Homo-oligomer: A and B are copies of this chain.
Amino acid sequence: MTQLRKALRPSTKALPEYTRGHNRSLVLQTLYRDGRRSRADIARETGLTRVTVSALVAELIAEGLLVELGQREETRPGKPATLLDLDRSAFVIVGLDLSEHSVFTGALLDLDGAISTRVEVELAGSTGDEALAKVVDLAEQLVAAATAPVLGIGVGSPGVVDLGGVVLSAPNLGWNGLPLQALLAERFGVPVVVANDANAAILAEHSFGGAASDAMLVKIGHGVGAGLLLGGTPLFGSRFAAGEIGHVVVGTDGGAVCACGKRGCLETWLSIPNLHARLDRPENADARERDVVLREAGERLGIALAPVVGALDLGEVILSGPTDLLDGALASATVETLRNRTMAEFHGSVTLRMTALGPDIVLRGAAVMVLSSRLGVS
Nearest residue (CB) in B for A252 is B251
Given contacts A212-B238, A237-B313, contact A342 B248 (CB under 8 A): yes
Would you call A238 and B313 a contact (CB within 8 A)? yes
A236 to B233 CA separation, bound complex (whole angstroms)? 13
Would you call A240 and B3 a contact (CB within 8 A)? no
Query: Min CB distance, A165 to chain B, in Å?
Result: 18
Would you call A13 and B253 a contact (CB within 8 A)? no
Residues of B within 8 A of A160 (CB): 346
Nearest residue (CB) in B for A3 is B212
Nearest residue (CB) in B for A45 is B10
Query: Min CB distance, A164 to chain B, in Å?
Result: 16
Which residue of B228, B240, B314, B343 contacts A237 across the interface (Cβ within 8 Å)?
B314
Would you call B241 and A307 a contact (CB within 8 A)? no
Query: Min CB distance, A253 to chain B, in Å?
Result: 5
Which of A23-31, A133-141, A187-195 touches B?
A23-31
Query: Min CB distance, A186 to chain B, in Å?
Result: 28
Which of A76-84, A89-97, A98-106, A298-306 touches B?
A298-306
Residues of B within 8 A of A247 (CB): 310, 342-343
- Number of copies of chain A assembled together: 2
- A36 CB-CB contact with B under 8 Å: no
| Per-position binary interface string of chain A over residues 212-233, scored 1 when its CB falls under 8 Å from any chain B CB and 0 otherwise | 1110100000000010101111
Residues of B within 8 A of A347 (CB): 241
Query: Min CB distance, A220 to chain B, in Å?
Result: 15
Would you call A23 and B14 a contact (CB within 8 A)? yes
Would you call B48 and A13 a contact (CB within 8 A)? yes
Residues of B within 8 A of A260 (CB): 343
Residues of B within 8 A of A19 (CB): 14-16, 18-19
Residues of B within 8 A of A310 (CB): 244-245, 247-248
Pairs A-B, 6 closest by C-beta atoms: A237-B313, A238-B315, A14-B22, A249-B341, A214-B238, A251-B252
Extra pairs beyond A16-B19, A237-B314, A248-B310 (10, CB < 8 Å): A7-B211, A14-B26, A15-B19, A213-B238, A216-B311, A230-B230, A230-B235, A236-B313, A237-B312, A248-B307
Residues of A within 8 A of B (CB): 3-5, 7-8, 10-16, 18-19, 22-23, 25-26, 29-30, 33, 46-48, 160, 169, 206-207, 210-214, 216, 226, 228, 230-233, 235-253, 260, 262, 303-308, 310-316, 340-343, 345-347, 378
